[in-house]
A and B are shown apart, each in its own frame.
Chain A
Amino acid sequence: MSEHDNLDLTSVRKRLEGRTGRDYWRSLDEIAKTPGFEDFLHREFPRQASEWSEGEGDGRRDFLKLMGASLALAGLGACTRQPTEYIMPYVNQPENDYPGKPLFFASAITQGGYAAGVLVESNDGRPTKIEGNPQHPASLGSTDAYTQGAVLNVYDPDRSQTINFLGEIRSYASFLASFKDIVTEQVGKQGAGLRILSETTTSPTLEAQMKDLLTQYPSAKWIQWNPVGLGRRQGTKLAFGSYLNTVYKFDAADVVVALDADFFLSGPGAVRYSRDFMSKRRVRDGKMSMNRLYVVESTPTSTGAKADHRWPLKPSEIEPFARELAGAVGSGGAGGGAWSSQPWFVAMVKDLQANRGASVVVAGESQSAEVHALAFTINEALGNLGKTVIFTDPVEASPDDQLARLKELSSDLDAGTVDVLMIVGGNPVFNTPADLDFAKKLQKARLRIRLGLYDDETSQYCQWQIPQAHELEMWGDARAFDGTVTIVQPLILPLYGGKSPSELLAALTETPEKSGYDALRDYWQKQHTGADFENWWRRAVHDGVVAESALPAKAVSGARVPPASSRPVGGADTFEVSFYPDPYIYDGSYANNGWLQELPRPMTKLTWDNAALMSIATAERLKLWSEARVELKHGGKTVWASVWVQPGQPDNTIAVHMGFGRTRSGRAGNGAGFNAYQIWTSDSTTYASGVELRDLHEKYSIAATQHHYLIDREHGPQKDAAHAASPGDADFETAEAKLRGIIRSVGFGEFLKNPGVVDEMGEQPPKGLTIYPDVWKYNGYAWAMAIDLTACTGCNACVAACQAENNIAVVGKTQVLNTREMHWIRVDRYWEGSVENPTAHFQPVPCMHCENAPCEVVCPVAATVHDQEGLNTMVYNRCVGTRYCSNNCPYKVRRFNFFLYSDYVTESTKLQKNPDVSVRSRGVMEKCTYCTQRIQYAKIMSEREERAVRDGEIVTACEAACPTQAIVFGDQNDPNSRVTKLKKTQLNYGMLADLNTRPRTTYLAELRNPNPAIPVLEKKS
Chain B
Amino acid sequence: MAQIFHSSANQLSKLGITVGLLAVVGLGGILFELGADSSYATRQGEAREQPVPFSHTHHVGSMGIDCRYCHTAVENSWFANVPPTKTCMNCHSQIWLTSPTLEPVRASYRNDASIQWTKVHDLPDFVYFNHSIHVKKGVGCETCHGRVDQMPLMKQQSSLEMRWCLDCHRNPEKYVRPRQFITMMGYEPERDAKADQHTIGVQLVKEYHIQKLDTCYTCHR
Contacts and interface: CB of A to CB of B under 8 A. Distances in A.
A86 B118 contact: yes
A85 B119 contact: yes
Contacts of B35: 79
Contacts of B133: 940, 943-944
Interface in B83-132: 83-86, 108-109, 112-119, 122, 124-126, 128, 130, 132
B12 interface: no
Interface stretch (A482-490, A871-879, A891-899, A964-972): A871-879
Nearest to A89: B82
B136 interface: yes
A98 B216 contact: no
Contacts of A867: 215-217
A101 B131 CA distance: 12
A946 interface: yes
B76 interface: yes
A459 to B, nearest CB: 35
Contacts of A865: 215-216
Contact of A944 (B117, B136, B216): B136
Nearest to A866: B215
Contacts of A933: 128, 221
Contacts of A869: 215
B221 A916 contact: yes
Contact of A917 (B73, B137, B221): B221
Interface residues of B, number: 47
Interface string A92-123: 11000011110000000000000000000000
A91 B108 contact: yes
B43 interface: yes
Interface in A926-948: 929, 932-933, 935-936, 940, 943-944, 946
A91 B32 contact: no
Contacts of A538: none
B164 interface: no
A725 interface: no
A91 B117 CA distance: 13
A549 interface: no
Contact of B136 (A875, A917, A943): A943
A973 to B, nearest CB: 16
Interface string B177-215: 000000000000000000000000000000001000001
A916 B137 contact: no
Interface in B33-51: 35-36, 40-43, 48
A943 B135 CA distance: 11
Contact of B112 (A81, A91, A875): A91
A275 B75 CA distance: 39
A90 B215 CA distance: 35
A877 B217 CA distance: 12
Nearest to A867: B215
A88 B42 CA distance: 23
Q: Is the interface of B mostly helix, strand, loop or mixed?
A: loop
A306 B182 CA distance: 58
A91 B86 contact: yes
A761 to B, nearest CB: 34
A195 B58 CA distance: 69
A940 B216 CA distance: 16
Interface in A542-591: none
A78 B218 CA distance: 24
B132 A940 contact: yes
B163 interface: no
Contact of B132 (A79, A99, A944): A944
Contacts of B137: 943
B79 A99 contact: yes
Given A87-B119, A92-B85, A929 B126 contact: no
Contacts, number: 126
Interface string B160-178: 0000000000000000000
A42 to B, nearest CB: 32
Given A98-B76, A100-B77, A943-B136, A936 B221 contact: yes
A906 interface: no
A411 interface: no
B218 A936 contact: yes
A91 B113 contact: yes
Contacts of B119: 84-87
B220 interface: yes
A871 B217 contact: yes
A84 B86 contact: no
Contacts of B32: 78
A868 interface: yes
Interface in A458-493: none
Contacts of B117: 86-89
A918 interface: yes
Contacts of B18: none
A178 interface: no
B69 to A, nearest CB: 13
Contacts of A82: 43, 122, 124
A367 B118 CA distance: 62
B78 A100 contact: yes
A897 to B, nearest CB: 15
Nearest to B74: A98
A1009 B164 CA distance: 60
A873 B215 contact: yes
A81 B38 CA distance: 10
Nearest to B160: A82
B36 A929 contact: no
Nearest to A874: B216
Contacts of B79: 98-101
Nearest to B215: A867
B116 A86 contact: yes
A772 B142 CA distance: 45
A81 B209 CA distance: 36
Nearest to B110: A91
Contact of A84 (B118, B130, B132, B220): B118
A89 B84 contact: yes
Contacts of B108: 91
B217 A99 contact: no
A918 B84 contact: no
A929 B86 contact: no
Contacts of A87: 82, 116-119
Contacts of B83: 89, 93
A169 B119 CA distance: 39
A876 B127 CA distance: 11
Contact of B109 (A91, A871, A877, A916): A91
B85 A932 contact: no
Contacts of A90: 84-86, 114
Contacts of A940: 130, 132-133
Nearest to B108: A91
A199 to B, nearest CB: 37
**Most chain B beta carbons < 10 A, residue from A86, A89, A877, A933:** A89
B74 to A, nearest CB: 9
Interface string A60-88: 00000000000000000011011011111
A99 B81 contact: yes
Contacts of B136: 943-944
A902 to B, nearest CB: 13
Contacts of B221: 916-918, 929, 932-933, 936
Contact of A100 (B81, B113, B215): B81
A98 B114 contact: no
Given A88-B114, A873-B215, A933-B221, A98 B73 contact: yes
Given A100-B78, A918-B221, A936-B130, 7 more contacts: A84-B118, A88-B114, A88-B116, A92-B85, A92-B86, A98-B76, A868-B215
Closest 3 CB pairs of A and B: A100-B79, A867-B215, A90-B84
Interface of A: 78-79, 81-82, 84-93, 98-101, 865, 867-869, 871, 873, 875-877, 916-918, 929, 932-933, 935-936, 940, 943-944, 946
10 contacts: A85-B122, A87-B82, A89-B81, A90-B86, A100-B77, A916-B221, A918-B220, A935-B217, A936-B217, A936-B218
